[in-house]
Structures are given as C-alpha cells and as structure tokens.
Structure 1
C-alpha cells in the first residue's frame, strides 16, 4: 500500500466516489432518453427501475460498516468497485427492463459500499481535525463522475451501451487503485483506547431531524436526477445530445458544493440549508417552465448541482460533528436518508408524469421542497454550539479523541496535537 497525505487521500477518495456515485448511480438519468427509446420503456417503469439502485444502496449501506470492520477498508472498496464493473457491464448488454434492473441493482451496491469503506480508511490515514473537510471534498467526486459522462453523451448521444462499457473499464481501474492505495485495516486503535460513549438521547433526536431533512431533499431531487433529460426531450423537443449540456452544468456547479458546505459548517447551517433547498426546488420549476430553452435549462443545472452537492456535504459534515469518533456510522445515516427519499420519490414522480405530465410533476416536487425549506430553523445545530450542552459535548469529544490515529510518521496523534491542527 502506498501512503497518502490528507490532501492526497481526499483527492483519491473523490476519484472513487466519481466512479461509484457519479458513473454507477447518477449518470443513469443522463442516459434515460436513449435507453427508454431503445428498450421501449414507459415513464412509470423507468421510475421503478430508477428506484432499484437506491434500494440496493440502502441495503448495502446497512452492512457496509460490518464489511469495513471484518474485511477491512481495502477489501470493501475493492468489492465496491467490483460491483460497479459487473453492474455497468450488465447495463451495457441490457435487453429489457429485467436485465436493466439487475444492472442498476449491482450499481447501487457499488455505491452503498464505497463511502463506508472510505470513511473507515480515513480513520487510519487522515488527521481527525480535517475529517469533515476531507469528507466534503470526497463528496463532490459525484459531480466529477457526472461531468466525465457528459462528453460521451455529446459525442455519442445514442451509444449508451458503449458508454457503460467504458464506465465498466474505469471501475476496473478503480479496483486496482483501491487495492494499491487503501489500507487493509479500517482503523488504528491503541490497546488502551476507550470505546466511544453511548449515543445520547440529544444526539439521537438531532440525528433524526437531520435524517428527515435529508429524506425530503432526496425525495425532491429524484425528479431531476431521473427525469430531467427526458423532460427536455419529450416536453422541450430538444435533441438527446443537448441533454449533455444539462449534466455538464450539474457536474461543474456540484464541484463548488465542497466550498459551500465548508462555509455553512463554519457559519449558520440552518440558514444555508434553507437557501440551498429553495435553490434546488427552484431549479426544478425553472426546467419545467422552459424545457425548450437550452441556456435556461443549463442554468437550472448549475443551480441544481450547486444546491445538491452543498446539501449532501452539509448533511455529511453535520453527522460527523454530531457523532464524533463514529465515522463508520455518522456519515452513513444522512446518505441512507437521501437514498431512501430518492427511492421513494422516483416511482412517485414517474406516476405523476404518466398521469399529469412532466410540468405538473416537477412543479409539485418543487413546491414540496420550498415548503420544507421553511422549516429549516429546525435544522440541528452541532452540540458544541450551545453552552448549556457543553459538558455533554466535551464527553463526546473525549470519546472521539480516545480513537487515536497515527500521523504520517507512524507516531500516535495525541488529542493536543489534533486540536492544534484544527483549522
């Protein structure tokens, strides 16, 4: 295994997230128009198929922490990329709804295993003080993966089978890279280190609120991820290649989500959450109102990409702050909530499209997002932001510090050093 610096690990993690999230999961919506046309699938069937990788993602996420502890971070990451290879290869050869569904199911497993594997490796390779920032950088890898898929659509608008074969090859490269760069153990704990304290009622209540907000965001965003390109072609009359510009905008703007999430983490998370959720909802309304205007559609993609990645990054950093020392559990919860929301929303929007049309379906989801944004003052603050809870917070932080890590020279990283390095 080759050792990586904090920055190097963040960038490498972003590459693996680009493969597992960007290509294996989110790029599917980009290819829905040609897939639906060639396989003769209706919108409601596409909605159900679009929910399958989210369901398998949830199931894989439930067992991923166990895999990371038993198999190690390296083997779990390799297994994740392996499922990506199989899933995208099956999609490339799909002949109907069944084979397509099997392919996206495997891709969902790929996605569900990757983040827990990376967070387990992060405990052994990255300083505690920068866990939140490194996680935020890795999170935008999904946008990078989406952006990588765009040139394929622009050049070969109907060659979705060749595109997925190419993606499968990239996932194969990810298998080799994960084996080379990720450690075989999930974390480094001294023999005298105490385990984390039990999660308090206060922490559970705030995690529950965080999960509810994440669920609604996933529910609302499912309309865009699955049906936005199809809306442009069906309702707007644009060519399939034109949808590539929409996804390019989503990918480019999503990279900025790392910065926005970091700013929110340092300032006012509830206000930032409200602003970003309104932006995400507005992007749906804008696309539905002007599907035949490529410039406005691309602008909606910019807004959606920035808002979506900012929100997922904010949820990720909030969960890390609420559960210090529990990286195998904290980041899993909001991602599961987002995926559950998307798995619920995908068939719902498919049915609405079939019954009432694209414009009404997108407008309905946009309204739901704006209504929930008004409840953002209830977004959970970090425990150490409130003086009356300072004693409880210090206990939690001490438990986190008991999980001592090793620095780049192989020496134990003490709590004093960790605090000194904290930005």
Structure 2
C-alpha cells in the first residue's frame, strides 16, 4: 500500500481519538468543572477514567488485532470516539460525563495496536518506523484543533464536543473506505500480554509506567494551573494549548532522531525535557513566555516519547507489532491512571506548584533508566 494512503487517514484517526476525544478534556476542564461544580479530586478521578478505559481496551485490541487483523479494531475505535464525544456533549451529570469519558478514553486503547499492525502488514519495512511516528503525531494535530476551537467557542464546551463528534464521523467513514477489507495474507503470532512476556521486558514496563505517571499532571491540570496563577486572557490560555500541539507535530521526526542518536540517548534527552516543563510552570506560572516555553517543551517531549515507546516496544516484541505497541502503551496508561488520581489529590492538598515540581522530578529521574 502507498505510504500516504495509509498514513493520512491514520493521522486523522489518531487526531480524533487522542487529540479530540482524550486530551481535549484538560483544555475544557475549567468550563466543565464550573458547569458541574466538581472538586479537583473529582476532576482528577474522572480524568483518570480516560486512562483506565485505555488499560482494558488496549488489552482487548492487542489480542483481537492479532486474531482478526487491524480493520475491525480501527473502526471500533472510531465508533467509541464518536459516541463518547456525543455523550460528553449532552451530559447532564457527573455520571453521564464519566460514561462519555470512558468511551472516549477506550477509543485510544483500541486504535493504537491495529495501526501498528496495519503498518507492519502494508508498509514496506524501511518506512515502518517513520510511518509509526508520523501517525502518532496525529495527537498534535488534534490538540491544535482543540485549541482553535477553544478560541472560537469558549465557553460553549457542549457545542465544541458536538463539532468534535461530527469530525469523528467523517474520519470514521474515511478509514472505513481506506483500510483493506480482505484478510491480510501475513499473520502475526497470537498476542498475549502474559506475566512471562512482561518479565522479558522490565525496562520498557517500568519506563512506560513512570513516563505515563509523570505526564498525567500536565495534561490534566496545566491549563487550570496557569489560569488561576496569572492574568491571562482566554486567547492566551487557548494559545498555550495550541503551542503544545504545534511543537508536538515535531514528534513525527522521532523515527529519524532515534536512527541518528540512538534509542537510549533519545529516551534520556526527551525524558529530561518532559520533566523540565512542569518545573518551569511551578517556578513562574504567571509568566506568559515561560508558560509557553513549558508548553513547547512538553509538546515535543511527551509526544516524541509516545513515538519512542512504539519503536522500543516493536524492537522488544519484534514478532508481533500489535503486542509491541500494546505492552508499552498499556503500562503508559497504568502510569497515567495513577498519576492523574494522585495529581488531583495533591493539587487539593499541597497546591499546584509543589505538585508540578514533584511530577517534573519523577520524569527526570525516570529518563535515566536503561533502554537495553
């Protein structure tokens, strides 16, 4: 299959599931928070449902992709995103909101393994690393879209989510037409996330968990933090989110960077960068230039790290591309569940500054883990 024919719809599906259905929650959280009168702890718990749903759906998707091929899981992911966005848009209570969050979060778990498998099946091997990292960069495009929507539609978060749902429907139809319907001629070994498989890859398990935990605070609370800490306009707040997405698009070059400097160096450098971002916010959240610098560092580093984990996982589980993505992304999400819940409690207990400082230190420490 032609590189662009698979990568372009893949980028848009990742943009919908990760950017619109999942990470947009952090940007729109202040308005949602006000609409339901939620505490920081409740906001953190509901946010953790994105990652909790991910944990279950990525297990299911990893196994089913190995058995049935990627098409079914990609379309199911698009459907989860569509209905999750619609439910969030119409939510009238925290419980309904939580249901929409579960579906939206589940879409991300469903979509990651099958795209890795699709690339392994239909893209020539020399281009597979680049295809994986470019498709993963779709998250950044989704984040930019959410930032633009916040500028144009704030405080109408329900209308915003309804527009996201319309985009999700279009992307779902596109992928329905593009992903081959026939059974792939190449078959993978059956993917099983067993304890024995995890024992064979302790570094990637630990690294993924720690990086997931350290990123959760920034994704969920960074926008709320700078809003309460400085005299920012709505435009400036939305541009903060757009900066994350714009610089995150550079993560599409991740495959080339890893080839140039090696997996270990890339992991350490970008792990440190990801840790510096929340520390900068902790030091001076009211400084616009410093806040945007933190957003840029986090956008590059976090989204690059996701692409790096894909490359690392596929190297560890070389016989099964869906398992190679499933293991690190499952562990990443487990870390995000833990990190999101703890962040909500810490923000309410010790404040934003100390919480962001702690999370930054965790990322820096984790960045020195050996990748081999």
The 5-angstrom pairing of residues 252-331 of structure 1 reads 252-331=246-325
Q: Identify if the C-alpha distance between structure 1 residues 185 and 335 changes in structure 2 by more than 3 Å, giving closer, same or farther.
A: farther
- CA deviation profile, 1:127-174 (whole Å, cap 9, x unmatched): 133222211111111111101111111122211111100000111112
- In structure 2, what is the equivalent of residue 96 of structure 1? 93
1:274 to partner: Cα distance: 1.4
- In structure 2, what is the equivalent of residue 39 of structure 1? 36
Counterpart-to-counterpart distance in 1, 2:192 and 2:178: 33
Any unmatched runs of 5+ in structure 2? Answer: none
- In structure 2, what is the equivalent of residue 379 of structure 1? 371
Q: Identify if the C-alpha distance between structure 1 residues 204 and 85 changes in structure 2 by more than 3 Å, giving closer, same or farther.
A: closer
- Contact 1:22 1:142 (C-alpha < 8 Å) held by counterparts: yes
- In structure 2, what is the equivalent of residue 145 of structure 1? 142
- Contact 1:123 1:188 (C-alpha < 8 Å) held by counterparts: no
1:117 to partner: Cα distance: 2.3
Q: Which 4+ stretches in 1 moved above 6 angstroms?
A: 196-199
The normalised TM-score by structure 2 is 0.93
1:236 to partner: Cα distance: 2.4
Q: Identify if the C-alpha distance between structure 1 residues 311 and 195 changes in structure 2 by more than 3 Å, giving closer, same or farther.
A: closer
The 5-angstrom pairing of residues 225-240 of structure 1 reads 225-240=219-234
- Contact 2:66 2:191 (C-alpha < 8 Å) held by counterparts: no
- CA deviation profile, 1:65-105 (whole Å, cap 9, x unmatched): 33334554223212111111110011111222211111110
Counterpart-to-counterpart distance in 2, 1:229 and 1:84: 23
- Contact 1:84 1:110 (C-alpha < 8 Å) held by counterparts: yes
Q: Does 1:26 align with 2:18?
A: no
Q: Identify if the C-alpha distance between structure 1 residues 85 and 97 changes in structure 2 by more than 3 Å, giving closer, same or farther.
A: same
Q: Does 1:161 align with 2:155?
A: no
Moved more, 81-90 or 120-129: 120-129
Q: 2:13 aligns with which of 13, 16, 41?
A: 16
- In structure 2, what is the equivalent of residue 394 of structure 1? none
1:206 to partner: Cα distance: 5.7
- SS of residue in 2 equivalent to 1:189: coil
Counterpart-to-counterpart distance in 2, 1:360 and 1:337: 25
Instruction: Provide the aligned C-alpha RMSD in A.
Output: 2.3
- SS of residue in 1 equivalent to 2:119: helix
- In structure 1, what is the equivalent of residue 112 of structure 2? 115
Moved more, 110-119 or 257-266: 257-266
Any unmatched runs of 5+ in structure 1? Answer: 381-423
1:228 to partner: Cα distance: 0.4
Q: Identify if the C-alpha distance between structure 1 residues 196 and 162 changes in structure 2 by more than 3 Å, giving closer, same or farther.
A: closer
The normalised TM-score by structure 1 is 0.83
Q: Does 1:220 align with 2:214?
A: yes
Counterpart-to-counterpart distance in 2, 1:220 and 1:168: 29
Q: Identify if the C-alpha distance between structure 1 residues 240 and 356 changes in structure 2 by more than 3 Å, giving closer, same or farther.
A: farther
- CA deviation profile, 1:279-308 (whole Å, cap 9, x unmatched): 111100111222222222111111000001
**Count of aligned pairs between the two proteins:** 371
- Contact 1:260 1:310 (C-alpha < 8 Å) held by counterparts: yes
1:232 to partner: Cα distance: 1.0
Higher helix share: 2
Counterpart-to-counterpart distance in 2, 1:90 and 1:84: 10
Counterpart-to-counterpart distance in 1, 2:192 and 2:222: 43
Counterpart-to-counterpart distance in 2, 1:67 and 1:13: 19
- Contact 1:287 1:300 (C-alpha < 8 Å) held by counterparts: yes
Moved more, 64-73 or 154-163: 64-73
Q: Identify if the C-alpha distance between structure 1 residues 222 and 53 changes in structure 2 by more than 3 Å, giving closer, same or farther.
A: same
Q: Identify if the C-alpha distance between structure 1 residues 198 and 15 changes in structure 2 by more than 3 Å, giving closer, same or farther.
A: closer
